[in-house]
């Protein structure tokens, strides 16, 4: 009558109808037979409708019981699927991981971790979202990505930033400037050469510009490019001296197609930070990935 049913009763009803036996339903639900009997009675009383015929070999649905079952069966199946799905999400057999960052960080820093993670959890879909630092922060705040990988420092009260590895930016040149290989340049000497920098809105660009400024110099690039690859490529071709992250040109430095230009001042180190939303729980996949990186 009251129609304010405990949904638990439907679970009992489902198993009673499915097995055709209150005793078997009790076994399936880890209950005793009287409990099941009681639950079914409750459900019947609440509707004012008899749902089962009771006979000596079990129970069978009445006309009305069969109607109810046609709905409840679907409903219970959905719940079972939901529970399976949640286990899968928990076990990282399924789900998604959405990361924001710059192309270069993806390629030179995150790639090995991503490969590792993907191998461990092939069921997790990876979404890599690249953009500038402000864009990444915006994505994070609107929930489009789970975490962002950017250069420090980040000072946003809504964000929690975990410092990761330290990178060292430096100036590199190719064979055309081989004479500089063993020299130690001052900043103003460097400015005699064409400099290639990353585009204006990058944090590395801002950092080095400020450094020159603090010594009273104006750093004005000859060439400005939009990707680390081009930065490397142009330096190798001898178009100028590129300001890049040393770790990102490790291969080129080793094989000798690029060499580092020594300076008489120390360049500031760059820290990579992993940003997440403060006070917001991470998805299982995201927190697992964070652990992997640490």
Partner DNA sequence: AGGAGCTATAGACTGTGTCTATGAACAATA
Partner DNA sequence: TATTGTTCATAGACACAGTCTATAGCTCCT
User: Which residues are near its own copies by CB under 8 A?
Assistant: 3-8, 10-11, 30, 47-50, 53, 62-64, 67-68, 71-72, 74-76, 78-79, 81-83, 85-87, 89-90, 95-96, 146, 280-281, 283-284
Residue 62 touches which of DNA, its own copies, none (Cβ within 5-8 Å per kind): its own copies
Q: Which SS3 state, helix, strand or coil, does residue 4 take?
A: coil
Kindly tell me which of 129 and 283 has the beta carbon lying closer to DNA: 283
Radius of gyration of the chain (CA): 32
Residue 59 touches which of DNA, its own copies, none (Cβ within 5-8 Å per kind): DNA
Nearest partner of 212 among 231, 235, 195, judged by Cα: 195
The DSSP string of 150-210 is: EESP---TTEEEEEEEEEEEEEEE-GGGGGGTT-EE-HHHHTTS-EEEE-TT-HHHHHHHH
Residue 188 touches which of its own copies, DNA, none (Cβ within 5-8 Å per kind): none
The tokens describing 273, both together, are: 């930070």
Burial 249-266 (b: 16+ CB within 10 A, else e): beebeeeeebbbbebeee
| Residue 41 found at the interface with DNA (CB under 7 A) | yes
* Least distance (Å) between residue 156 CB and DNA: 13
Among 3, 4, 48, 55, binds DNA (CB under 7 A): 55
| Residue 49 found at the interface with DNA (CB under 7 A) | no
Name the residues that contact DNA, by CB under 7 A. Answer: 6, 8, 21-24, 30-35, 37-42, 54-59, 279
């Amino acid at each position: 009558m009251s129609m304010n049913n405990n949904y638990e009763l439907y679970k009992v009803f489902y198993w009673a109808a499915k097995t055709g036996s209150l005793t078997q339903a009790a076994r399936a639900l880890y209950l005793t037979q009287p409990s099941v009997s009681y639950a079914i009675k409750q459900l019947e009383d609440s509707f004012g409708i008899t749902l089962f015929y009771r006979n000596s070999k079990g129970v069978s649905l009445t006309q009305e019981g069969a109607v109810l079952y046609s709905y409840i069966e679907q409903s219970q199946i959905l719940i079972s699927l939901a529970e399976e799905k949640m286990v899968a999400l928990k076990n990282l057999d399924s789900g998604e991981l959405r990361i924001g960052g710059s192309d270069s960080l993806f390629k030179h820093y995150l790639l090995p971790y991503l490969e590792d993670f993907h191998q461990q959890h092939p069921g997790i879909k990876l979404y890599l979202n690249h953009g500038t630092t402000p864009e990444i922060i915006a994505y994070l705040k609107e929930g489009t990505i789970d975490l962002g990988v950017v250069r420090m420092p980040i000072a946003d009260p809504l964000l929690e930033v975990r410092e990761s590895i330290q990178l060292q930016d430096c100036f590199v040149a190719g064979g055309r400037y081989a004479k500089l290989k063993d020299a130690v340049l001052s900043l103003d000497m460097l400015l005699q050469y064409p400099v290639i920098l990353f585009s204006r809105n990058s944090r590395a660009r801002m950092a080095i510009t400020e450094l020159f400024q603090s010594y009273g110099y104006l750093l004005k690039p000859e060439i400005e490019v939009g990707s680390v690859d081009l930065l490397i490529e142009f330096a190798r071709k001898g178009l100028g001296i590129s300001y890049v992250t040393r770790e990102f040109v490790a291969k080129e430095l080793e094989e000798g197609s690029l060499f580092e230009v020594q300076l008489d001042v120390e360049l500031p180190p760059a820290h990579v930070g992993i940003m997440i939303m403060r006070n917001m729980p991470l998805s299982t996949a995201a927190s697992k990935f964070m652990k992997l990186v640490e």
